[in-house]
Amino acid sequence: MKRYFLFLFFLVVLSSNPLVAQESIRVVSDFEGASVRVLEIDQESRRISFMPGGDPERGWPCWWYFRVDGITPDENITLRLHGSLASVGKQKPLSASWAMPKYATYSVDGKTWNHSEAGRRDGEWMIYQITPETNSVYVAWGPPFTPKTAAAFVRKMGQRSPYATATELCRSRQDRSVPMLHIKEGDRSNKQRFGVWVQARQHAWESGSSWVAQGFAEWVLSDDEQASWLRKHAEIFIVPIMDIDNTATGNGGKNSIPHDHNRDWSATPHWNEVRAAQQNVKGLINEGRMDVFLDLHNPAPGDPSFFYVLPREMLKEPMISLRDRFIELAYSRISQIKPLIPMSNKPKVTGASYHPLWKQISTNWVSMHGNPHTVSLCLETIWNSKNSTTSGYKSVGANLAAAVREYLAERPVRP
């Protein structure tokens, strides 16, 4: 009997000792879009120190996304983030600020994404605290939007709406499908329709831009009467992810070797996605109906610029006044979404002083090769704010789509 009570005593002691009872926390990154370099896991303090992962030759190493297993539900986990030390050639490592959003993004099911409390900067580290109610949690730089997410969304829209067709832009260099949504309603011929091209994620780490594209598509396919007008008068193409390979493998994409997708709009594109997009856009140009081209991005951490455009002196009328009108309409709607503000309604120019390959930037290429009435814009959605969430991003997309409708409604209807 004495031994029995002694056994019970030690059992109680062991079960009440958190170092014994708690399972070891583990970092898992063997899934689509994941990226992390683990520096240390301190089991006693339940703290994970890490950097963004990714191959620097395949883009800026600022994206991070992984799962933490072995958590005791409702316990506090500390994430300790350091900027990547990787560099390409003689370039210095990327500034840590690109990898350090004010809020970490987390999910207990990999579907619904939330913000952590604001992170705390401690020297070269950013410290986030999360307290998941489950024994496993996904954490990321921003709300992930993977190739599987894109394929599922495009397929769902195609099944739900008689006006949407789930299709494929092309196969990537690594033979991945690049999902695309094609939208139109009614009996108008294509030549009677405005041409609208929307693409996101030419830089793989900019996950927020894909959610903006989703919000755009959801509004266009909604029951709103204005959305119906747009579907009846336009032919709309939406590509949620352009750099599909780097998005799948968790690489940053921007400034990848030999250059990223948004520096590839030349006479001989390197990337299959750019080549295919160019061919589609050229078709709209040849038919005289490349009306609105939108390339969706996320900017630098503190950049308030909302649109990036060619210098005015490089364009002719009516392109300048039409572009200014579209910016006015879009900004008046989107600037009301707080707290994505402050942002600037003064576009940033992307001419010769911006980048050596400035002529090969998508929106510049479309402006220089498009129709006289073409509006071609790069839209940057702020990622480092409290409202940089899936719902916040989709709200930007919905308002952008409504601005497209409002703008095209002012244009002469095609006979």
Q: What is the pLDDT of residues 306-351, one digit of tens each?
A: 888 898 999 999 999 999 999 999 999 987 775 454 556 678 888 8
Give the residue numbers spanning the domain of 188: 147-409
Same domain, 156 and 257: yes
15 is a domain residue: no
Of the pLDDT bands very low, low, confident and very high (cuts 50, 70, 90), residue 89 is low
Same domain, 196 and 336: yes
Same domain, 289 and 316: yes
Same domain, 127 and 157: no
End residue of a domain, out of 98, 123, 140: 140
Give the number of domains in the chain.
2
Same domain, 359 and 399: yes
User: What confidence score (pLDDT) does residue 12 get?
Assistant: 43
User: What confidence score (pLDDT) does residue 16 get?
Assistant: 44
End residue of a domain, out of 109, 140, 171: 140
Beta bridge partners of 377: 294
16 is a domain residue: no
- 57 vs 302 pLDDT, higher one: 57
11 is a domain residue: no
DSSP 53-106: -S-GGGS-TT--EEEEESPPTT--EEEEEE------TTPPPPPGGGG--SEEEE
2 is a domain residue: no
Mean pLDDT over 21-32 rounds to 93
Q: What is the CATH number of the domain that holds 85?
A: 2.60.40.3120
User: What confidence score (pLDDT) does residue 413 get?
Assistant: 86
Mean pLDDT over 254-272 rounds to 96
Q: What is the DSSP letter of 384?
A: S
End residue of a domain, out of 113, 140, 167: 140
Give the number of other Cβ atoms within 10 Å of residue 164's Cβ.
23
Q: What is the CATH number of the domain that holds 371?
A: 3.40.630.10
Same domain, 199 and 332: yes
Same domain, 155 and 94: no
